[in-house]
A = this chain, B = another copy of it.
Amino acid sequence: MNFQSLFYPKAIAVVGASRTPKTVGNDIVKHLCTQGYQGNIYPVNPKADELFGRKVYPSLNDIPENIDLVVIAIPAKFVPGVIQEAAAKGAKAAIVISAGFKEIGNHDLEKELAQVCEQNDIVLIGPNCLGIINTENNMNASFAGLMPEEGNVAFISQSGALCTAVLDYAQDLGLGFSKFMSIGNKASVNELDLIRYFAQDPKTDVIAMYAEQLENAPEIIKVITEINHSEHPKPVIVLKSGRTEAGASAIASHTGSLSGGDAAYNALFAQAGIIRANCIRELFDYAQILARNPLRQAKNVTVITNAGGPGVLVTDEIVSHDLVMAKLSETTKAKLKTFLPEAASVNNPVDVLGDALADRYEQTLQVVLEDENTDAVLILLTPQSVTEVEATAQVIIKLQKTAQKPIVVSFMGKGTVWPGVKLLREQNISNTEFPEPAVCALAAYSHYVDWTQAETEKPLYFDDVDRQAVAKIFAEAKKQGQTSFPEAQAIEIMKAYGFPILESAIAHSPEEATTIAQRFGGQLAMKIVSPDILHKSDVGGVVLNFTAKNAAQKYSEMLATVASHQPNAKLEGALMMQMAPKDGVEVILGVSKNPGLGTMIMFGLGGIYVEVLKDVNFAFAPLTRADALRLIHSLRSAKLFEGARGQAPRDIEALVECIGRLSQLVTDFPEIVELDINPLLSLAQEKGSLVLDARVVIE
């Protein structure tokens, strides 16, 4: 997609330009004309002559030159026609503000719009959107009135109305944007297209978005993993609404799109390395810290504070967010002691006391920045009567310029600390009004840095699978209209993909029983094979718990017993089976489809606890080894697998292999819509795992 005409047009036409103030068609022309955009602007309206000092044209056709971008705010049904006209005038980009498409059920009109754009090679934003802003060329092609500061954050919103509030919040924070996008119904251009563009955009360092529904998880994972491992990683922060069923149905009612379960989005974000903001404030806190600090390790945090209580509060937060209170080196402590008062604490949190002036903050920050055990610094300030709010801000600004470590600040309070806060914001220092959110943001930042440093892995792949065998089973089933595969058939499919199964084979003589039993090893069971016997156990046709040693004897005994009970039955032999070990932990391994996003592998604690504890995790196929390990280790009951209370640790490698084989199976056969291995028995280390039961459903 060519976004040049969209973001850097030399000539823009606005179709639906209006003379009536406070209408969309009036606002857009006003914002284009009055906020510094230097290209040519052509308002189009058959009934007007002039608007904001620009000549108004009766139609696109009347414009004297070719245009690059057309902005459209007229009734929906006329939009596709106007796109045709715009194409004839050379337009390569369109922003459709008009509502009245998918969101009210007009799916066909929306499809038509997308097609017309595609045929004419036009990049389409919208319909049903607020427009876009490019701060680099002061182009506000939207009906949001506030032109944001220039900055390094690209913002994308699926909700138009939210945008005006976002611009307002950002202005107060001094947070600038590179591009600001309302993308509406996403008939053509969606978030992923824009992310791809922003990954290359030199003006953008951070991508933030509000999303209600996303599509194609595997592609999102691929693109963002690439960005996170590129030379210039750009964090993607997503505020995703519709976490709850009620929220999802509210989305459906106002945008006409289905969002799907939240577990799928959590899986997607974890796999892709997307930072999830849980509320609007977090979106800003995360954007701020990432936009205002270079990407550096931030695990070990040192706190500098002039108040004990807030120091304790952030200590709690640091530990709760999986960060670490840095252990200051002895050298650092000794240095701090040379200038801090005796009552001060030289341990972390470093309490510089309520009477600390700017110089004491400066000396302390200097020493802490040099501490070898400190990755990041959090500075707290409460406004005591002697506190030098502005001078302290200046000191932080000065030291941050050369600091190789992230610094986050919370000047606590409002009016009293405002002069300092203003300085910090102007100089791009991350400051939060309350101290706890600073930690939360630091944790997101640290987590992101970890992602960029994690090794990239290929999806798990096994070359010993028999893809043809499964293809054949499915092909035959489809011929007969069969979609569901009960245990016996499902086990065949599992076998073909190399899953560990309890072995079974039919013995036709005592000698063969021994041979099979020796091959299988361990504890065995045996069932009579006869077309004439329905209830095997009633006639003594089931024998449990024997080994190879007495297999022949058990075989003979069983056949004799059955024969005595049912003399006329034709006895064909005995089905010999391995017995499941008793010390296995039951887990569940399955498949779950998310409409739009893709196919997920589900892994969790099995048995009664599936329902009671709902301790399951998801990841989209295909999975890497890291994904598989995350499925296991982020269970609440993970300790059960790592060896709890004297129980042997489980064979994690065997679980990873099962997860990987399932990932490969569902990737090879997208027609699989349901698949449950329940239970999968997880055995002790080096003992493997065992599929005890499975069930498969195809489309």
Contact = CB atoms under 8 A, between A and B. Distances in A.
Interface residues of A, number: 88
A434 B281 contact: yes
Interface in A231-258: 239, 241-247, 250-251, 253-255
Interface stretch (A197-205, A407-415, A479-487, A560-568): A407-415
A260 interface: no
A241 B312 contact: yes
Q: Indicate how many identical chains form the complex.
A: 2
A244 B611 contact: no
A417 to B, nearest CB: 7
A212 B168 contact: no
A313 B612 contact: no
Contacts of A648: none
A681 B611 CA distance: 21
A95 to B, nearest CB: 17
Interface in A416-474: 416-417, 433-437
Contacts of A239: 313
Contacts of A165: 307, 310, 382-383, 412-413
Contacts of A311: 250, 254
Interface in A188-244: 210, 212, 239, 241-244
B436 A281 contact: yes
B612 A309 contact: no
A596 interface: no
A191 to B, nearest CB: 14
Contacts of A534: none
A246 B348 CA distance: 10
Given A162-B307, A644-B611, A171 B251 contact: no
Contacts of A242: 312, 316
A168 B343 contact: no
A345 B412 contact: no
Interface of A: 22, 27, 99, 104, 143-146, 157-162, 164-165, 167-169, 171-172, 210, 212, 239, 241-247, 250-251, 253-255, 279-281, 306-313, 315-320, 325, 343, 345, 347, 349, 351, 354, 382-386, 412-417, 433-437, 608-609, 611-613, 636-637, 639-640, 644-645, 647
Given A161-B306, A168-B417, A169-B412, 17 more contacts: A22-B385, A145-B385, A157-B309, A159-B310, A164-B385, A164-B416, A165-B310, A168-B383, A212-B309, A212-B312, A242-B312, A254-B345, A281-B434, A281-B436, A608-B644, A611-B645, A612-B637
